[in-house]
A = this chain, B = another copy of it.
Amino acid sequence: MHSTETNLDFALYATEVAMAAQVASRVLATAGGEIKNRWLCRTAELIRERAPEILAANQVDLEAAPGFGLKAAAIDRLKLDDKRLNSAAEALERIALMTDPVGEILDGSVRPNGLEVSRVRVPLGVVFFIYESRPNVTVDAAGVCIKSGNAVILRGGKEAFQSNQALHKVLHDALEEVGLPTACVQLVATTDRVAVGHFLQMSDQINVTIPRGGKSLIERVMADAKMPVIKHYDGICHVYVDRGADFAMAREIVVNAKCQRPGVCNAAECLLVHAEIADQFLPQVARDLSSRGVELRCCERSRRFVSGCRPATPRDFETEFLDLIMAIRIVDDLEQAIEHIETHSSHHTDAIVTNDLAAASRFTAAVDSSAVMVNASTRFNDGGEFGLGAEIGISTDKFHARGPCGLRELTSYKYVVRGAGHVRT
């Protein structure tokens, strides 16, 4: 079923897929770790074995890519080869080695009346995952969802449609082989956007929607979804260089946070510098950044320390540039830095560079972002760097899951209560 087939009843299709996922999720919730790990390992094997058919499908996508207007960088992300397939397979094998989150006893107690109360981790149920371009994400997401006991409905981008179908066939065949319901992993068989709208209505069947992609995708999902959404929204990240900072360390961190991969969410967009060190520090860091091609947009006070900068507009302090551009502001002190961050940050990742313990403590307590860094680059806010093992996204929400989302973040819990004929009086 491709989007070019016209007579598809999307509402009916979405209902069928979501209901099948829900039925499968109930089997998966109690399936046990062994069969899930067998699926992960068998899928890894099949990805390697069936590389030729996957790469052939990928080739079709690559040939169509310029027609979708994809630029070189996007085409590179779309491209699969043996190495990338092997790394997708290895990711599954790593997930297989992780502890099963389902059934973990979070806490518990025996109540004074003898009632045994425990809180047990359970899967959320059904995950609707909407993503763009990179076909490896199809494999990663399915691995994270199955390991955490969730059925998943995958909705990839149109650019990767053939690649995703080939990969899904492998995921599907491995489910069949190990004896799990094949509806544990479904790929939406159309890239028509209207179909997504129908899925977003199915709050009785789908427990959470995770959109991963551009802002317009996320805003559309936020507006339309009737179920909870784990969203990876924008990353307006700050580095604050305190008066107590080691200049060499601060320069390395600022350059790394801005330049190492400017197009990603945990790259820094704004540099805040304590007024007392601005005259010395700013010219140094400005040279570092300029020499790496970073365009600097400076507040009025900072302009005289930064040669060749542009004046910053208020909008520059609210913008996720995702590019080699950095806004710079001088602040009077730590408190003004915190105030700036609490006002302008997207609460994704914010860092302080300082050797002053009190300043570090105050900063980590007062800055309310998914990750608050002391003397480390903002670029470290990442599931792999935090040791989550696998991630399906980074949440910019505070509700349910915050920061990198791995297995644990795709679970809920239930109370299991054991009595001996207990009744309430």
- Using a CB–CB cutoff of 8 Å, the interface residues on chain A facing chain B are 26, 29-30, 109, 111, 115, 117, 122, 124-125, 207-208, 228, 246, 249, 252-253, 255-257, 260, 342, 360, 364-366, 368-377, 379-381, 385-387, 397-400, 402-403, 412-425
Contact = CB atoms under 8 A, between A and B. Distances in A.
14 contacts: A29-B368, A252-B423, A253-B423, A256-B423, A260-B424, A364-B416, A373-B419, A374-B419, A375-B420, A376-B418, A376-B419, A377-B423, A380-B419, A403-B414
Return the 3 tightest CB-CB contacts between A and B, nearest first.
Answer: A376-B419, A256-B423, A249-B421
A424 B381 contact: no
A400 B399 contact: yes
A23 to B, nearest CB: 10
A386 B26 contact: no
Contacts of A386: 111, 117, 415, 417
Q: So how many copies of this chain end up in the complex?
A: 2
A417 B375 CA distance: 9
Nearest to A412: B398
Given A368-B414, A399-B400, A413-B402, A376 B122 contact: no
A124 B400 CA distance: 10
Given A26-B342, A371-B417, A387-B111, A207 B424 contact: no
A397 B228 CA distance: 10
Nearest to A222: B226
Given A115-B385, A122-B368, A380-B417, 15 more contacts: A208-B399, A228-B397, A228-B400, A249-B420, A360-B418, A373-B419, A374-B417, A375-B418, A376-B423, A385-B424, A386-B415, A399-B399, A399-B400, A399-B412, A402-B415
